Amino acid sequence: MMKKETLTRALRTAVIAATLSAAAGLAHAHGDVTPQAVDTSALKPIGGDWLEKNPYRKNGDAIRIGDSAFSQNCARCHGIGAVSGGIAPDLRNLPAGDEGDEFFIARIRHGVTRNGAVYMPPFEGTLTQEAMWAIRAWLETVHVD
């Protein structure tokens, strides 16, 4: 049986190690984003023009596809199930409905770079527009006010 003090120290060390490795993963992700293919063949194709409103809102196929696309491409920063661990904003708080669509699509297409530092990589060219709106359709199912 470990003494309480030793146990507390062991736990603290484990937490620090986990935080550091998450930060290293983030730094790596900034420079080297591996595109994750998202199969959107179950969805009606959107075509070339960028939309400002989600054509797949409440679409069951889109929600299922978006759930998995989020896990593969976004969760490492925004958290599993979109529950933020503090590295990036909690996307459950994005405004729901048409109101939040334009902001969402701009962010995911272009990412966020400030003073030369990439906070979030752009996904245009990596994810299709179909995959992006599918993610948005799923995000709205976990929305909190």
Q: Which residues bind ligand HEC (CB under 6 A)?
A: 26, 29-30, 73-74, 76-78, 88-89, 91, 94, 104, 107-108, 112, 119-121, 123, 135
CA–CA separation, 133 and 117 (whole Å): 26
Q: Which is nearer to ligand HEC, 56 or 123 (CB)?
A: 123
Which residues, other chains included, contact 43 with Cβ-Cβ below 8 Å and sequence gap of 6+?
56, 59, 61, 62, 65, 130, 134
Angle, CA of 19, 23 and 26, to the nearest 5°: 140
CA–CA separation, 61 and 90 (whole Å): 24
Task: Provide the minimum distance between the beta carbon of 73 and ligand HEC in the complex, in angstroms, as a whole number.
Answer: 4
Q: Which is nearer to ligand HEC, 32 or 49 (CB)?
A: 32
Task: Provide the minimum distance between the beta carbon of 53 and ligand HEC in the complex, in angstroms, as a whole number.
Answer: 15
Question: Quick one: DSSP state of residue 119?
Answer: E
33 touches 44 (CB < 8 A) = no
Q: Which is nearer to ligand HEC, 7 or 112 (CB)?
A: 112
Q: Which is nearer to ligand HEC, 5 or 32 (CB)?
A: 32
Task: Provide the minimum distance between the beta carbon of 20 and ligand HEC in the complex, in angstroms, as a whole number.
Answer: 16
Instruction: Give the total residue count for the chain.
Output: 145
Task: Provide the minimum distance between the beta carbon of 10 and ligand HEC in the complex, in angstroms, as a whole number.
Answer: 30
